[in-house]
Structure 1
Amino acid sequence: MPETIPNPIVLQRADPCVLRHDGWYYFTGSYPLYDRIVLRRAARLEDLQAAPEVTIWTKPDEGPQSSLIWAPEIHRVNGAWYVYYAAAPNMDVTFDVPDADDTFNHRVYCLECLDEDPLTGTWTEKGQVDTGWESFALDATSFVKDGEQYLVWAQQDFAVKGHSNLYIARMENPWTLATPAVMLCKPEFDWEIVTFWVAEGPSVLQRDGRLYLTYSASATGIEYAMGVLTADADSDLLDPASWTKSPDPVFTSAPENGIYGPGHNSFTESPEGETVLVYHARTYTELEGNPLWEPNRQACAQVLPFDEDGDPVWGAPLPLSRPVPTGVEVLPPDGTMS
């Protein structure tokens, strides 16, 4: 892998998730029209942009999954493929939840593929993941430790100020919780509550006897930034006391490099075994119209180094080395710019 990965690795794909399996990189992320779930695959991160994109699931016209398909993640559990994603009903349909926001009324859902190739295999809906209560829920991620699968996600608790907190549970199977949800953190520091009180987009890195749970906070402009919680691998991961939350963000906008609002990350690795940080970012701050529909959050990646004590050296987002779109036009699935 080159010392500096050519960025963006994929154009116009926010909330990027990259999984390395059997020598291939599998990529998914939020499609700008929020109407489908897509996958692509390449042998190198720098080849993902040119890789054909395959739609594995399309939203229905009606029902609880008929709008705003957000932040899919692909995972491999017990020899099968799973995609977690958030979906909402059409804006004129709501869940029967007090104080619910009619626009953002998402829940977490799961797809399963038992075939070897997730791009050509059959994907089956496993339904909504019951997180224990009905409220705005999104950004589920998964990891396996000591043979046990865990789910981490963001959800609103009407008794806690803010839009979403982070929760963890052990899984009975990839679409069913085995334990009650435990809150690990909530937005509380100044950098987490700019415009919106948000903790979302979790991802888990296991390395050298530690777990690093990253997340993103605040609104999605220049203020969007990443934080981290850390736990010992041999601790009780369902005990909030096992996790130490950094009071400061670890990955923030780098105006000197033309990168704004880095966040909603995932982790993968290089062919040499180096940890790679994957994230989305914008290249400008003056957005046209509703930021939700501004398509130019680009998927980026860079090698994450570690210091002598084994802790991540997060650094800053690096400058882009590939051209990116700047208008509000959504590129075609092949990512070509006119």
Structure 2
Amino acid sequence: MTTDDFYATDPSARASWRLAILMGRNARTYKFALGNALLHHASQGHTEIPLRDLAAPYAMAILERGAPQAPGSGAELGATDFLTIAAEESAESRRLGRPTDRLLDAAERSMPGMVMDKFHNHNRVPVPHRFYDIVGRGRARTVRLSSALEQVARSYELEGLRAELDARWSIVEGSFASGIGRSLIEEGVCVDRSTLHITDPHRRRSVTGVAEAVAGFQHGRCHICDESLDGDRPAVDHVFPHALMRRYASVGGWHGPDLDSLWNLAVAHTKCNGEKSDRMPTPEELTRLARRNEAIMRSPMPLHTTLRLTLKNAIPGRRISDWRTFLREVGKVCA
């Protein structure tokens, strides 16, 4: 699936937002802090705000989450660099519950070049919708929020979009964190079946929820009925039912791939998931799963790594390059 295919499936402002948040390059996490600040203001009905007002929630989000860029991804920091100032002003900003004037100055000064000029780019190609423009100069700079951002902020999917942003931020942040980043980047993630959380494969440390991590790659739609999740608390469906592993284990062993892995977990309405129970997936559901997995493969590590390794290793003796072929082979194992 190409970027154009993902957008063509749902040619909306929400799809453009997901391209920027879920599928852009992740050498840094500044864009998540910016996205959080944009949703904060747009959801309150703001259409034009001073850059300084946008800088305040942006700076505090950076302090609260930390790990804004991958180790070794930038040059040595100078005394006036935003990250240097953020570190020095962190304690006082936290005490005040707002950024200090010095931190606010640094954020306001650095945001345009550091993140705002790049936010709309997806792998060096602009996403179909723009969400803001910066006008004016110096302290008079103003951010004009677009009608596309208003559509995102007033969408019935707003809370889901916020959850997707937070989940993606957690995944990327985890891959930057000392001690767990290497395993996530090189080996991908695994899933704790008891909690349905994505975890680090070595430490079993929770990174984020499966539903929040994958819903955006399904365009916020139920995998089973293909209708919007529409604020419903979603369930996580095993597309190929997990019961197959137990059933085959009693008659000679299961020889297929791990059905508790990310490739086989999709978000669905609770009602749809309950009605599906342990039945095999329909052809339409397999098509949607292939498209969803192809979309995840367009995102940066570690989710990309997880699915790439599945294609490479999950079926002994076979290195399969595409999801449609892979799912057909799994179907044969289950027949």
User: What interval of TM-score do these two structures reach, taking the shorter chain for normalisation?
Assistant: under 0.3
| Bigger helix share | 2
Structure showing greater Rg:
2
> Normalized against structure 1, the TM-score is what?
0.28
Q: Which has the higher strand share?
A: 1
